[in-house]
Chains A and B, each alone.
Chain A
């Protein structure tokens, strides 16, 4: 396994990236509509995982209310579409902006909180959003039934009732997401997140504006979750306050933590375990929560860094002495 991985790393990255994209394009073709929808859903949660990963993985902050931003994005798209007749694809920027704005407003006053306190506030925010939606805010959010009759995207005159087109739309955004997230990770901002995660005191002393950097993580992560919410609304056409329920946030959090905090392939693995497998084994639905609990407990005992962790997070969790980088030749 190790050998295979090292050999894969030596292949030109562009080649296997294009290979993976080609695979993703061809994968749904031989499958039926149900499985295409499962693939679509998987992709959606990968995007949610990646957006949450900016907050949890890169900046090292707690966020257990991520589903709230997903719901906010969906409701923004739905409201614009239903009341103002804006075509769904044009509502996407608005969804991003609204979710990002709420991300900013909510986290700005609580950023100085650490660990568990931050966690509690984010849970509370998720619940607030759900309850506000249930209570039919301004009489436009449709209460507990949510909103229905949202237009599907209209593009190229295709029949958008077919899941396959939604899958390809999702795929385009997924590729964009991975590209952006990857670039962010290896940038000045990505390093600043790393510094904050590693040692906030030292980061601040080195001139990193920790408040700003953490806020940016929240704003970017929330905004992107808003986009995913709008994509969801465009396929399902019915949305309800359940999108913001606590269990959704927990699932997103588990995707990141079980898959491997801070790692992009880890998010794929996590989504496979948390979304795709339970979906494929629908007959065993009653066992789903038990499976989640079992997976969590086993993972936390055996592999706290996740299934496919980023190198750094593994170091942080396991102690660096164990896994060391190759030593450079020393002169003395």
Chain B
């Protein structure tokens, strides 16, 4: 069966944590209704987007700026989130961020975390299949994460597939 046409949604958000609850609600609803993931994965996607947006606001933006959030969903295939900031006074490059994730995900990494530092390596990287930082133009960072529906434990079952499988077993 041919893939459905991707759904692209772009939201621009002021750099204020006040708006994050609305983005979480939107993500939960989008993931539940348009992707094929079950409720558990919808909540996980909600946490992923919250962490990405918060990082972009806190570390990648100056007050009064905006961040851009893109949702790309191909039902039954994958959901992708892209969060782009406009840069701050913190001199962090995409290479730094990709290295940080790689280090923290390593089995030999010795965890010495304080109150911060769990969002990206444990929640974002833990609950997605691809995480990639690139440098945005003219400045800032762009992070793209993707989660595939296929082979995800607990994905919503297609009724017709279930019926066919059951009939085949009989």
Are these two chains actual partners, yes or no? no
Instruction: List chain A positions with a Cβ less than 8 A from chain B.
Output: none
Instruction: List chain B positions with a Cβ less than 8 A from chain A.
Output: none
